Chain A
Amino acid sequence: MGLLNFLKKIEPDKKESPFLHTLYDGFFTFAYAPNTVTKGGVHVRDGMDLKRLMVHVVLALQLCYVFGSLNIGHQHFNAMGMYPDFFDAFHLKIAFGLIQLIPIFIVAHIVGLGIEFWYAAKKGHAIEEGYLVTGALIPLIMPPDVPLLWLAFAIIFAVILGKEAFGGTGMNILNVALLARAFIFFAYPTEMAGDTMANGKEVWVAGFEYASMADKTQLSQYGWSHGFFDWIFNGLGWRTFGEGGTAIADGWTGATPLGLAKAGGWAAVTEVYTPSQMWWGNLPGSIGETCKPAILLGAAALVAMRIASWRVMLGMIIGCAVAGMMMNGFTSGSENPALAYLQIPWYYHFYMGSFFFAMAFMATDPVTAASTNTGKWIYGIFIGIVGLVVRVMNPAYPEGWMLAILFMNVFVPLIDHYVLESNMSKRLKRA
């Protein structure tokens, strides 16, 4: 009880310093479940609250975080022709990944939570937990070498315009994390397209520039934090960052499977990546979306805990599969190279890109998804269809799920409206 008494003693005055009080309240309720009792309604309440809900989504993301950190490091070394085996120099890869990931994570939280706290203090309500999940999702859908300033801009845009303008957690129409991603995508299109060597900045593989691709000797400049790890690794007698890797690997292109597929269909993809490589996630991409098993385990946990809607997930799989089969069906037998992307077997669409991540963590956001069970099916199926259509048929966008989900977010009120209308007309008919 000593801690409780101490915390009670340092509580700032609500009137004098509302911001400090909001901040205090946020951290206090994080440490202690409040002592409020039920009044006026039920006498016993479920042990579940929004904090617990949100933190379980964050827990479900942890495998993606672990794999993401490793993969950042692996892609970095792989691009330089070092440690080609995934688990080679594990310590270097994970250290490199963490050095890359942790600043992204910190910036995402400081900027987002800062806005959240400020609005809570301004409006005089408690800090709502929505950003716990948003803040955990945003780093995972960013490219590993995303400049932190872009990230901060994107989050400011998404949280203020996407959420606070609508009234905070529970009121937003569009998925906040996806809005941040969309901001980066549209504000820095050439870098995000993933197939531009000419532009000089490679965001999809951390730690090197294209600038000196011509002489293939450009080694990324390691910073002081790498030096610190080198000191430790040196002491342990392990390999260090500074020991080699001067040339960019021959045949390394840095292209993503989707970029390749656009250019030459499945044949072009498999020249560079094997299906199992794409499944296990050993390739460049957004930090958290490459490893399908890690995502699917998280999704299974969410469904088992009844946090995320299995209807949306299954609907998306069905929608994507049906759209893929239709594309296959209409183009089967054609030799036209322009149709090569449409001819990719429908099940391989699940291997490429970020379908599963969008399905498990983006589409199932309860606030922006349809709120009726029938609506969830419609919502999920349409995301599947629209997303694949955008991915395959629209030359401007390499990936479709972000746009499809945002698009369907906008249609959610309409879907729910018709579901409710049918319920209402059924009731009126009966009367």
Chain B
Amino acid sequence: MSNKINRFILLFLFLNLAFSASAQSSGGSNYLFTALAAIVVLIILGAVIMVADNLLKIEARESGADKSGENYSLFPKWNEIFGSSAPNFVDGKVHFLKKGHDILLEGEAAKTKVTSSNVTTYAVQPQNFNGISPIPKVVVAVGDEVKAGDILFFDKKRDTIQYVAPVSGEVIAVNRGAKRSISEVVILADKEMKYKSFDAPNLADCSREDLVNFLQSSGAWPFIIQRPYSLVADPADTPKGIFISTFDSAPLAPDLSFVVDGNQAAFQKGLDVLGKFAPVHLGLNAKGDKPHAAFTAAEGVSKHWFHGKHPAGNVGVQIHHIDPIGPNSIVWTTGVQDVITIGKLFTEGKYDASRMVVVTGAEVAEPQYVSTYLGANIEGLVKGNLKPAEEGKTLRFVSGDVLSGKQTSTEGYLNYTDDQVTVLEEGDKYELFGWLLPLTPRPTISGTFPNGFFPDLKFQANTNTHGEKRAFVVTGQYESMLPMDIYPQHLMKAIITNDFERMEGLGIHELAAEDIALCEFACTSKQPLQSILNEGLESMREQ
């Protein structure tokens, strides 16, 4: 703060000097000369200031002092003067992200109580892991008893990475999908969890190799996701950083500060483990309440504060502002609850895949947090908690949030990294003049709806497309929804035309489907941006 004031005083002094200099020279009657002289004096002064400013900045860069994000220029930055100021619990620079949009939906979970689940079956779905071969080697058979942490299957291409059971119990089904691919390995859980016991290496003196082997054999490795391409990380890679977002800004998403409560030690341990591979970066939320101490007081990590609307909580957006991914660099990401599971391997010696899952959506009678395990059955999560059925109304169950989640059904299971179920109404109805005079409120970013006058209104959104697919017409819309220095529309066109050089240049490596999900929501032409991007990433990976 004092820094800012100093800078103002300095500027003021310089300006004063300049004006007095020009005033003194106005003895002669020649206005032109006076004006020219004043301009020359101003230019010289300006040049001096510019040089000094640049020298300061260069000095700051060379000494490494500007890494903390402190502004070492003589001039205050634009947003330092006019930008919103950070709340007082923030210690450090805040990335203010102006772009984006918060979709307010009905059915937000109350943060008061956590109910324990009555889920009986759990499943691990190989197709949740990008790039895994469609038919992994399943090592358990139907009828086998497994403990939590016992191996279920592995990828034949990378056989050291084990995918393990989240709960103990009996394997009751190995379901197959299209082309005999394995779609899910289902476990009927025991009433009382039995854990396989692990002997974790001592963090202080174990080698990277030991650690990698332990994480692979204990089933914790698949939690580590590589960017670009969102694959399970390759143990041979050295990432330039590991990024964890500690808040989820998606519609109705769980409050991770609430979720992490009670697991602070395990979370810190997990961070310590990850810190053995690469520097760990935490993205913290500078908007709203103070984040949980597990995040603000985390040790051995660098913290980065973000203030903005969705997708500010997406790790991809945060990476872009912290240390962008280039075509040849690799970073790793993981989730908060995954870090806790990794930590518990070391603090408790067991693979504890317990998850706090939030059951949300306008069609849920009592949106709430449910304590369960990874890969829980959807029916068990929502049973007895749906609003009474109505004639002609069908429901959609989404594993994840409404933007980037996957459609599932009551027979389905939560995806591997999801900690949210959203239930909403299918919008399979015709609407008279629905494009012109919508009779029900709906979320939108458009100024043609009166939504702007009701900024806090929560919507009971349905899944209607509200229009038909068209060619790209509107411009600038995606850019306003993505707080990154990327031109999504041109990137999409590059993907559609298979122009690899352009895809790379326009930053496809920095994006994952979840980052442009909001652009897809806002798209006037109803283009399927996420699937276009996934196609692009897929063909880029094959290159």
Contact = CB atoms under 8 A, between A and B. Distances in A.
A213 interface: no
Contacts of B398: 43
B69 interface: no
A282 B328 CA distance: 65
A53 B524 contact: yes
B481 to A, nearest CB: 10
Contacts of B329: 431
A33 B520 contact: no
Given A36-B468, A43-B396, A45-B466, A52 B326 contact: no
Nearest to B103: A44
Interface residues of B, number: 74
Interface in A235-279: none
A29 interface: yes
Interface string B437-450: 01000111111110
Contacts of A32: 430-434
Given A46-B523, A48-B448, A371-B475, A37 B464 contact: yes
Interface in B409-440: 422, 424, 426-436, 438
Contacts of B433: 31-33
Nearest to A371: B475
Interface residues of A, number: 60
B521 A169 contact: no
A366 interface: yes
Contacts of A29: 435, 468
A307 interface: yes
Contacts of B103: 44
Interface string A398-431: 0000000000000000001000100111111011
B424 A40 contact: no
Contacts of B429: 35
A48 B402 contact: no
Contacts of B472: 170
B237 interface: no
B438 A42 contact: no
Contacts of B238: none
A423 B475 CA distance: 17
B471 interface: yes
Contacts of A373: 476, 479
A49 B529 contact: no
A120 interface: no
B474 interface: yes
Q: Which 7 A-B pairs have the closest CB atoms?
A: A49-B467, A33-B434, A431-B326, A170-B471, A424-B505, A305-B447, A47-B442
Given A32-B434, A425-B505, 13 more contacts: A33-B464, A42-B517, A44-B463, A46-B443, A50-B467, A50-B473, A53-B473, A128-B471, A304-B447, A372-B475, A373-B479, A424-B502, A427-B506
Interface of B: 103, 105, 251, 324, 326-329, 396, 398, 402-405, 407, 422, 424, 426-436, 438, 442-449, 461-468, 470-476, 479, 485-487, 489-490, 502, 505-507, 517, 520-526, 528-531
5 contacts: A36-B465, A44-B462, A48-B524, A369-B475, A423-B487
